[in-house]
Amino acid sequence: MTAALKVALDGGPYGLTAGPDGALWVTLAQSGAIARVSRTGEATVYPLEPQARPTIITAGPDGALWFTRSGDNRIGRISTGGEAVAFDLPDGSDPYGITTGPDGALWFTAMTSGEIGRITVGGEVTSRAVVGGMPSMITAGPDGALWFTLNETAAIGRLTVSGDLTVRETPTPASGPVGIAATHDDAVWFTEIRAERLGRIPMDDAIQEIDLPGKPHAVAADPDDGVWVTLWGSSQLARVGGDGDIVTIDLPRDSEPHGVAVDGDGAVWVALEAGFVLRMPS
């Protein structure tokens, strides 16, 4: 059994992702930095501009890590060696979610301007759709489209690479969807932080909802079955199986869990804004 591992990180750990180098990469939203954490717990911090406020991070198609900088309207890129660059977005964009698309580019949400944007690995930025509704997190779906949450309009959007847009309201009004992830069961799962529910959309089927108290925030696919969900309001981590079975794990009190990711060994990691990341025991 792999033991639990706690790594202290000042600066408000927020989003995290498994990198191509086998490490976990973490955004430090409060201090404006990116951290690299090895699977054994060694941490290296790479400072950005203090006002950057990095939020969501993802492994890019070019072997680097890409992240949103919600504090200064930029998209950031950092190599596994720690070299960082940034690309400007229009004023008032407020980027938040980001994912690698099926076309070899990065796709991101702009919460304030209500847009879905695309940036090539060379830094060329284009707006692909104006959707409104405070688009939040985004993921590449099993159908080759981009799926995203619309926090203010309680809806889930689907945008093809060619620009076809579909928006579906959640069954629960004012649900406040935030996190979203595609899974191996040909479905897209998302969190509803205001409704305290977890949603699931099988391709071309009706939206399903599961009660999940604790203000669910981020969601990540479990390689075996189901998903992992951070419960921001109750300082817990939940595992929800494909059959709907729910297991909750208590985290340190008032730790504010945000991002969740699974590394190449199948271990689950959680970013806690109170000041550390956890690798859960397996």
Residues labelled catalytic: 258
Q: What are the C-alpha distances in Å from 2 to residues 32, 78, 87, 266, 274?
A: 31, 29, 39, 11, 24
List, as one string, the DSSP characters of the chain: -PPPEEEE-SS-EEEEEE-TTSSEEEEETTTTEEEEE-TTS-EEEEE--TT--EEEEEE-TTSSEEEEETTTTEEEEE-TTS-EEEEE--TT--EEEEEE-TTSSEEEEETTTTEEEEE-TT--EEEEEE--S-EEEEEE-TTSSEEEEETTTTEEEEE-TT--EEEEE-SSTT--EEEEEE-TTSEEEEEETTTTEEEEEETTS--EEEE--S-EEEEEE-SSSSEEEEETTTTEEEEE-TT--EEEEE-STT--EEEEEE-TTS-EEEEETTTEEEEPP-
